[in-house]
Chains A and B, each alone.
Chain A
Amino acid sequence: MTISKTSSGSRARTFLTRLEGPQTMGRGPAFWIAVTVAAAAAAAYPLIADAWTVGNAAYFLIWTFMAMGLSVIWGYAGVLSFGQTAFFGLAGYAYGVITLNLGAAYGLTILALVLAVVIGGLFALVIGYFMFYGRIQGVFIGIVTLSVTLVLETFMAQTAGPQWRIGEARLNGFNGMSGMPPLTLPWFGGDIVLYPGPSLYYLLLGLVVVSYLGLRIMLNSRFGNVLVAIRENPHRVAMLGYDVRLYQTLAFAIGGAFAALSGALYTAWGQYITPSSMGLTSAALPIVWVAVGGRRDITATLIGTIIVLAGFQMLTIYGSQYALIVMGGLLLVTVLVAPQGLVVGAMTLLGRIFRRGKS
């Protein structure tokens, strides 16, 4: 008994030590204090901002899951997917179809959220299986994944007719689905409906924190070690006895599941989903966020995505085409000036100054 207790205790400890490691920037007390302060500030934000602004901030948080998933696939495993929106859109539609059929009582919207993520993740698993076991590599992965999302967009856009329905849910073609219930938590005094505002914001913030820490642990684990090794030299990894295709497929499925989480949350947030969420522009944006922040680091990706999204929204006031051009310019500047990402560049610089200050 004692032995198993110690070993499970030590296992939990190894687990936690993986919060820090070679695959993730940031370590030591100073870093974790900064993380705690950032989380506390984010938690305090609804106290000083009005409900609309908080709902808007919730919108930013929604996209971070897709970005972190892309960081895993692209930044860590070295596979550029241009079609994360396929899993985003599929899960968004799945959430709509399930909740329009089942309703919002008894916490069924939460079940719908989980199912939507599972559906999106399984779809990514299947696509990943055919790509990696079919020996598709390099730039062709980008072409295949982009094709998948564009095919889905085109398909959904032609579902306007009344025959395109799943139970109660009309797919509604180009105009998209709407009217699905928001996330609804069953509670003793009556259901809590999570409209965009503080309650939804807190749920999302909690999910971001859990996802971020969970991914840090995963990326510093044996699995993460193998992923970055595959990025560096897949041939060598196979020659160490690893089934490279299996690791790539799993990483792709994980990234897809995170995109699906974003999609289902997005649909629950705005109570609508349209085919254009899987279109070319939508597909390109996550690549910009992740590249600008720093695809090879999960923290940089998270920070970069929120900053770029906030900037994008501020620019949209002047016109969304204009904002897209700026996004393109930003990507160009990143590639030329700090190919590892602007946030990574800044964090490296900060770390250097901090260390110099100490010595």
Chain B
Amino acid sequence: MTEILKVHGLRKAFGGVVVANGIDFSLSAGAMHCLIGPNGAGKSSFFRLLLGEHTPDAGTITFDGSDITGLRSFQRIRRGISVKFQVPGIFKALSVRQNLEVAFQEHRHGQSLSATVREMLDFTDLRGEDKTPAGILSHGQQQWLEIAMAVGVEPKLLLLDEPTAGMSPDETRKTGEMLHDLNSRGITILAVEHDMAFVEQIARRVTVLHFGSIFAEGTIAEIIDHPGVQEIYLGAADD
């Protein structure tokens, strides 16, 4: 399979804190992959580097066959990357409908725009709330709204930073089903996740990040049985 994302020697430090310490990582098109690691491992920072929010000190990022290392964030997004952040990044004063429209209007017009908005309102169970200011939704609903904003554009690569944080087990399962559905439509998914049950539900392969470096990579079973991985998680739990 062809590689949709290829990261080579990615390095970034903030003063003495090394958030990416020469990361080599690649993702084949159509993959559904999880990124795990203890708190502060550099998972969110890795996403920010992919998205161009941080400029790397060294290394290259290739997406869909072209080098995007020097591109600005919005240009990377336009190439087909889409993201849901760890902290919900929605427009709190705008209505749910407006949030969705701003997310989709560059990709869809007229009928197709309103159809997608309707589809996403159904999908997020926010049909009756389309005029509600997004800021007064519950935390879970805000998560859903942002996921909808990220998936509605049908990106080539979807980045999800802790998509199920704050969700009930039911909602978590529903999210997993939705991700499988998206993946079957050809969207490559890279998710940061702490909930191992959820990781098992969605991912075929897992990468473990620790102190800004790739610590291990493999199938779920391999990772769970990996003694070093257990150790770094236990070590983190000891803190």
A binds B: yes
Residues of the B chain whose Cβ atoms lie less than 8 Å from the Cβ of A238: 73-74, 77
Closest chain-B Cβ to A89's Cβ sits at a distance in Å of: 34
Complexed CA–CA distance, A244 and B75 (Å): 11
Closest chain-B Cβ to A356's Cβ sits at a distance in Å of: 18
A237 and B102 form a contact (CB under 8 A) = yes
Asked whether A239 and B83 contact (CB < 8 A) given A22-B98, A225-B98, A225-B105, the answer is yes
Q: Which of B4-12, B35-43, B85-93 makes up part of the contact surface?
A: B85-93
A239 and B51 form a contact (CB under 8 A) = yes
Closest chain-B Cβ to A271's Cβ sits at a distance in Å of: 44
Residues of the B chain whose Cβ atoms lie less than 8 Å from the Cβ of A41: none
| B24 close to A (CB within 8 Å) | no
Q: Which of A178-186, A226-234, A300-308, A330-338 makes up part of the contact surface?
A: A226-234
Mark contacts of B173-201 with chain A using CB atoms, 8 A cut-off: 1 yes-contact digit, 0 otherwise: 00000000000000000000000000000
Complexed CA–CA distance, A238 and B89 (Å): 11
Q: Which residue of B lies closest to A228 (CB)?
A: B94
| A241 close to B (CB within 8 Å) | yes
Residues of the B chain whose Cβ atoms lie less than 8 Å from the Cβ of A235: 89
Closest chain-A Cβ to B44's Cβ sits at a distance in Å of: 13
Residues of the A chain whose Cβ atoms lie less than 8 Å from the Cβ of B105: 222, 225
* Interface size in chain B (residues, C-beta < 8 A): 25
Residues of the B chain whose Cβ atoms lie less than 8 Å from the Cβ of A106: none
Closest chain-A Cβ to B198's Cβ sits at a distance in Å of: 23
Closest chain-A Cβ to B184's Cβ sits at a distance in Å of: 24
Mark contacts of B72-112 with chain A using CB atoms, 8 A cut-off: 1 yes-contact digit, 0 otherwise: 11100110000101000111111101100111011000100
Closest chain-B Cβ to A14's Cβ sits at a distance in Å of: 8
Residues of the B chain whose Cβ atoms lie less than 8 Å from the Cβ of A232: 91-94
B77 and A22 form a contact (CB under 8 A) = no
Q: Which residue of B lies closest to A242 (CB)?
A: B74
Residues of the A chain whose Cβ atoms lie less than 8 Å from the Cβ of B90: 233, 236
B74 and A243 form a contact (CB under 8 A) = yes
Closest chain-A Cβ to B144's Cβ sits at a distance in Å of: 16
Q: Which residue of A lies closest to B149 (CB)?
A: A240
Complexed CA–CA distance, A322 and B123 (Å): 59
A241 and B102 form a contact (CB under 8 A) = no
A236 and B91 form a contact (CB under 8 A) = yes
Partner of A22, one of B51, B95, B149: B95
Interface residues of A in 59-73 (CB under 8 A from B): none
Q: Which residue of A lies closest to B95 (CB)?
A: A22
Residues of the A chain whose Cβ atoms lie less than 8 Å from the Cβ of B73: 238-239
Q: Which residue of A lies closest to B104 (CB)?
A: A240
A241 and B98 form a contact (CB under 8 A) = no
Complexed CA–CA distance, A314 and B101 (Å): 46
Closest chain-B Cβ to A152's Cβ sits at a distance in Å of: 32
Closest chain-B Cβ to A229's Cβ sits at a distance in Å of: 5
Residues of the A chain whose Cβ atoms lie less than 8 Å from the Cβ of B94: 22, 228-229, 232
Residues of the A chain whose Cβ atoms lie less than 8 Å from the Cβ of B91: 228-229, 232-233, 236
Asked whether A241 and B95 contact (CB < 8 A) given A222-B105, A233-B89, A233-B90, the answer is no
A241 and B106 form a contact (CB under 8 A) = yes
Complexed CA–CA distance, A348 and B208 (Å): 53
Q: Which residue of A lies closest to B93 (CB)?
A: A232
Interface residues of A in 189-235 (CB under 8 A from B): 222, 225-226, 228-229, 232-233, 235
B74 and A244 form a contact (CB under 8 A) = yes
Mark contacts of A242-263 with chain B using CB atoms, 8 A cut-off: 1 yes-contact digit, 0 otherwise: 1110000000000000000000
Residues of the A chain whose Cβ atoms lie less than 8 Å from the Cβ of B93: 228, 232
Closest chain-A Cβ to B87's Cβ sits at a distance in Å of: 10
Asked whether A241 and B89 contact (CB < 8 A) given A22-B94, A225-B105, the answer is no
Residues of the A chain whose Cβ atoms lie less than 8 Å from the Cβ of B97: 22
Residues of the A chain whose Cβ atoms lie less than 8 Å from the Cβ of B78: 241
Residues of the B chain whose Cβ atoms lie less than 8 Å from the Cβ of A244: 74
Closest chain-B Cβ to A249's Cβ sits at a distance in Å of: 14
Complexed CA–CA distance, A191 and B51 (Å): 61
Complexed CA–CA distance, A244 and B52 (Å): 14
Closest chain-B Cβ to A72's Cβ sits at a distance in Å of: 17
Closest chain-B Cβ to A260's Cβ sits at a distance in Å of: 29
Residues of the A chain whose Cβ atoms lie less than 8 Å from the Cβ of B85: 239
Residues of the B chain whose Cβ atoms lie less than 8 Å from the Cβ of A241: 74, 77-78, 106, 153
Complexed CA–CA distance, A239 and B153 (Å): 12
A-B contact pairs, 27 of them (CB 8 A): A14-B110, A22-B94, A22-B97, A225-B98, A225-B101, A228-B93, A228-B94, A232-B92, A233-B89, A233-B91, A233-B92, A235-B89, A236-B90, A238-B73, A238-B77, A239-B51, A239-B73, A239-B77, A239-B85, A240-B77, A240-B106, A240-B153, A241-B74, A241-B106, A241-B153, A242-B74, A244-B74
Closest A-B pairs by Cβ, 3 of them = A241-B77, A232-B91, A236-B89
- Residues on A lying within 8 angstroms of B by beta carbon are 14, 22, 222, 225-226, 228-229, 232-233, 235-244
**Given A241-B77, A241-B106, A241-B153, 17 new contacts (CB under 8 A):** A225-B101, A226-B102, A228-B94, A229-B91, A229-B94, A229-B98, A233-B90, A233-B92, A235-B89, A236-B90, A236-B91, A238-B74, A238-B77, A239-B73, A240-B106, A241-B74, A242-B74
